[in-house]
């Protein structure tokens, strides 16, 4: 049996950085990863997909360049082999960077294999047994494949496999109208593929307020994406030239099907029962405010604990654990104000409560909205789709949440994120003097229009 000061299972965006901090403190650490360092973000999520989004936007801008007085003769062609290779290069550079970083650390042992608990202090991997007083789980999540008629008879794609396509689909049917599905839907439409989005719920991006969901649908429809919501029945069958997707309201002749119906934690094959670690009904590991599980000496970080499922929230899990365990701090998960983005174009930046959540909280609230068509920078760039929305507490004057769907919305939202984390009241932020011409300069104006509801 090999002994360590700590064992980290999973090489995502929390565990490896915590392992590195512990090594800096002179600890002996084992990092176990069953496949690739970097987790979903580096290998099948943010980095490759946003690289693909950039290629898709380049195609979109080229096709619409005449509006700006730039004439490009001939057809705008897409070389998917180059597109794929570019995304793969970004992934490999990041992954190899991690490999090189850890290889140069004394005290770090990287093991590739599938780890399972033998007891609360012991794990087995590749026929070896390892023990440590501290074990950190950062095992991530994977796509959910629903049990739909005919699904096992077709060759479907997931968010992991679709990034490896080097040919352009004739018609892509996206099953699931949430964040992952919508990003791929717009991306492939801009590459030139016919795209249909099929969503069980009544709205796209159902986590959002209805006005945001409706605006997202308008953006996608304006680019020629076929959207089907409120679909109760879906079945698949092979056809002579692809896949038939039959719903209760339509029949779609697709060449490819992307299943984007959510993700589930990679916790079902870790031997958690042997360690006594509790999970909820969805398989997420239950943690307290410090990310500790119910078993002393075991923590769960990142997607597998169900508190965020974003790269930045996973990294913040590392920051919380490192601060508490190594720096004597008292940081809490409950202090985190969650923010995220939807990377369609224009993007959606979101932080805090939705309007629906704020109304349900019983607070006296104020709301302000402003269309992007009234933003100078948006007009100058010719990108006026979307709107800004801010919700505030009428009594405390604190900002409760915001949504910015529009040009640079994923960047502009950080002004609100910073104010909320600093506890700044909206009147104080209203008197800031932002730079002109920017999208962010409209934040004080939107705040000035807050009205009780």
Positions marked catalytic: 436
- R_g (Cα) of the chain, nearest Å: 24
3-state class (DSSP) for residue 321: helix
Which residues lie below 8 Å from residue 54, measured CB to CB, with a gap of 6+? none
Intra-chain end-to-end CA distance of the chain, in Å: 64
Q: Walk across the sheet containing 194-198 and list its strands.
A: 226-228, 194-198, 171-175, 256-259
- In whole angstroms, give the CA distance from residue 139 to residue 123: 14
Parallel, antiparallel, or unpaired: how do β-strands 242-247 and 251-254 relate?
A: antiparallel
- In whole angstroms, give the CA distance from residue 305 to residue 288: 10
- In whole angstroms, give the CA distance from residue 231 to residue 271: 37
- In whole angstroms, give the CA distance from residue 306 to residue 265: 8
Q: Which tokens is 270 given?
A: 């870790």
DSSP string, 147-199: --TTGGGS--B-TTTGGG--S--SEEEEE--SHHHHHHHHHHHHHT-EEEEE-
- In whole angstroms, give the CA distance from residue 275 to residue 269: 12
- In whole angstroms, give the CA distance from residue 352 to residue 332: 17
- In whole angstroms, give the CA distance from residue 193 to residue 380: 29
3-state class (DSSP) for residue 73: coil
Q: Walk across the sheet containing 128-131 and list its strands.
A: 2-3, 128-131, 122-125, 116-119
103, 105, 136, 110: which is closest to 18 by C-alpha? Answer: 136
- What is the torsion angle, in degrees rounded to the nearest 10, for the CA atoms of residue 324, residue 9, residue 263 and residue 355? 10
The answer to whether 125 touches 113, Cβ cutoff 8 Å, is yes
3-state class (DSSP) for residue 374: helix
């Amino acid at each position: 049996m090999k002994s360590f000061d700590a064992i980290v299972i999973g090489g995502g965006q929390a565990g490896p950085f915590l392992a590195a901090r512990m090594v800096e403190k002179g600890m002996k650490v084992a990092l176990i990863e069953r496949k690739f360092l970097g987790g979903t973000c580096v290998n099948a999520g943010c980095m490759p997909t946003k690289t693909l989004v950039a290629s898709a936007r380049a195609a979109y801008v080229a096709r619409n360049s005449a509006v700006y007085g730039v004439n490009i003769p001939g057809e705008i062609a897409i070389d998917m082999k180059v597109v794929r290779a570019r995304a793969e290069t970004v992934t490999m550079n990041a992954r190899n960077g991690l490999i090189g970083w850890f290889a140069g650390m004394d005290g770090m042992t990287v093991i590739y294999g599938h780890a399972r608990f033998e007891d609360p202090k012991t794990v087995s991997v590749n026929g070896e047994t390892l023990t440590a007083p501290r074990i950190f789980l950062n095992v991530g999540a994977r796509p959910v494949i629903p049990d739909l008629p005919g699904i096992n008879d077709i060759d479907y794609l997931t968010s992991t496999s679709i990034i490896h396509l080097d040919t352009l689909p004739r018609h892509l049917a996206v099953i699931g109208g949430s964040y992952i599905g919508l990003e791929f839907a717009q991306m492939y439409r801009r590459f030139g593929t016919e795209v249909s989005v099929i969503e069980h719920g009544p709205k796209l991006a159902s986590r959002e307020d209805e006005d945001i969901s409706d605006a997202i649908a308008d953006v996608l429809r304006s680019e020629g994406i076929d959207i089907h919501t409120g679909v109760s029945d879906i079945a698949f069958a092979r056809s002579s030239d692809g896949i038939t997707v039959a719903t209760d309201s339509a029949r779609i002749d697709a060449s490819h099907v992307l299943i984007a119906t959510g993700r589930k934690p990679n916790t079902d094959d870790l031997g958690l029962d042997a360690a006594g670690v509790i999970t909820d009904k969805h398989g997420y590991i239950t943690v307290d405010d410090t990310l500790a599980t119910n078993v002393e000496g075991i923590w769960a970080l990142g997607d597998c604990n169900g508190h965020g499922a974003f790269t930045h929230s996973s990294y913040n899990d590392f920051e919380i654990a490192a601060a508490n365990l190594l720096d004597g701090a008292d940081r809490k998960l409950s202090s985190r104000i969650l923010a995220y983005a939807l990377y369609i174009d224009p993007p959606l930046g979101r932080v805090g409560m939705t309007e629906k959540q704020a109304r349900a909280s019983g607070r006296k609230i104020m709301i302000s909205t402003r269309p992007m068509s009234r933003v100078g920078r948006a007009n100058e760039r010719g990108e006026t789709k979307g709107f800004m929305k801010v919700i505030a507490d009428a009594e405390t004057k604190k900002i409760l949440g915001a949504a910015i769907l529009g040009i640079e919305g994923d960047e502009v939202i950080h002004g609100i994120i910073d104010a909320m984390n600093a506890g700044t009241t909206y009147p104080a932020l209203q008197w800031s003097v932002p730079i002109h011409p920017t999208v962010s300069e409209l934040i004080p104006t939107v705040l000035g229009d807050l009205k009780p509801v």
